[in-house]
Homo-oligomer: A and B are copies of this chain.
Amino acid sequence: MIKILIDCHGGDHCPEAPVSGALAALSTFPDLHLILTGDESLLRKELEGKAYDASRLEIVHAPQVIGCEEKPTDAVRLKRDSSMMKAIILLRDREDIAGMVSVGSTGALVTGALVRLGRIPGVIRPAFCPLLPTMDGGIVGICDSGANVEVGSAQLLRQFGIMASLYLEHVYGVESPRVALLNVGKEPEKGDVLHQEAYQLLSQTPSIHFVGNMESRDLLSGKYHVVVADGFSGNVLVKTTEGTALELLKKIKKDIYSRNLYKLGALLMKRMFKEQKEFMNYQNYGGSVLLGTSKVVVKGHGSSKAIAVTKCIEQAYKMQLNQLSAKIEQEISKYEHYDDV
């Protein structure tokens, strides 16, 4: 049995989305056991009249909600009865629980996980690794996408590469993932000193298949499975991609409505546009996993609906099933250790 906690508050569609998403996951994976944290009466109300295996679903009452505008350190310190902090503390204290899923405040989740859970031995700092679809039908993971906005050492970037490569390989079945470093040009000497050093270090890392620098223009090309980035530019990379796709589809939609001829054309292409929209819909690609924490943590988008939460649960389930943490510890241990600076 794989046990996973679901933080049921803090997102746009809470608690419906986490509760419905949890039930869908329960029916898909017979060896999955879920523990919902949140306001018990609200959660019970959501569950009312729905069919599910009650022996595999627990509820832990945690009525406080952490808002997105709250200071992460305050939330961690003061809101111990919140659905998120309760989940983090349970995850730390109960050996039988493997991981957690949350669609709440990113800052509070990262801070809480760092302070309360700790890291896999040898890991300098955990990092986020969201996935985006590539044009050839594959996926690409970007690590880090914002857990570390200040990256001081190339060793840290090397660890991001190792962790994300293992994630793509063991959770998504990508054989020998092609790992690239996000930089401002292809040549090894491009970028600042940090990225120049990271290029050298990644080249000397037999645990991964490093293929060189990537220019951000090529993110969706399908040439790469893992993009190593400092959290600041990784964040820019992911959000710009999402934003541009969204704005462009919005513009196409607006233009279609400007002329009857276009409306007619669009009618014939309705299915294609729907597929296009689905293709760029992050809800279909699960959450951002936090790689490097001692237990599995998956962060879903704040606007996640039930289907997206189910995907996040599936990710957490597969990370545990494939013993990702143990594999990360093993690979990381092959290189020098550096304490957090």
Give the contact-size bracket for chain A: 35 or more
Chain A, 210-227, CB within 8 A of any chain B CB: 215-221
Is A276 an interface position by the 8 A CB rule? yes
Give the interface segment out of A109-117, A156-164, A247-255, A326-334: A247-255
Is A130 an interface position by the 8 A CB rule? no
Bound-state Cα–Cα, A32 to B262, Å: 43
User: In the assembled complex, which residues on chain B have CB atoms less than 8 Å from the CB atom of A55?
Assistant: none
A151: nearest chain-B partner, CB-CB: B192
Is A54 an interface position by the 8 A CB rule? no
Bound-state Cα–Cα, A248 to B273, Å: 12
Q: Does B217 contact A240, Cβ atoms closer than 8 Å?
A: yes
Is A241 an interface position by the 8 A CB rule? yes
Is A310 an interface position by the 8 A CB rule? no
A-B contact pairs, 25 of them (CB 8 A): A69-B187, A135-B247, A149-B190, A184-B231, A184-B235, A216-B240, A217-B242, A217-B246, A218-B243, A233-B233, A236-B240, A240-B244, A241-B244, A245-B248, A248-B249, A248-B276, A256-B269, A261-B268, A262-B272, A264-B265, A265-B267, A265-B268, A265-B269, A265-B272, A269-B269
Q: A149-B191, A236-B240 are in contact. List 9 more A-B contacts (CB 8 A).
A: A184-B235, A191-B232, A217-B246, A219-B244, A221-B247, A233-B236, A264-B265, A264-B268, A265-B266
CB within 8 Å of B: which residues of A? 69, 135, 146, 149-150, 182, 184, 187, 190-193, 195, 215-221, 231-233, 235-237, 239-252, 255-256, 259, 261-262, 264-269, 272, 275-276, 279-280
Give the top 7 A-B pairs by smallest Cβ distance, nearest first: A265-B268, A217-B243, A265-B269, A240-B240, A244-B244, A150-B192, A216-B240
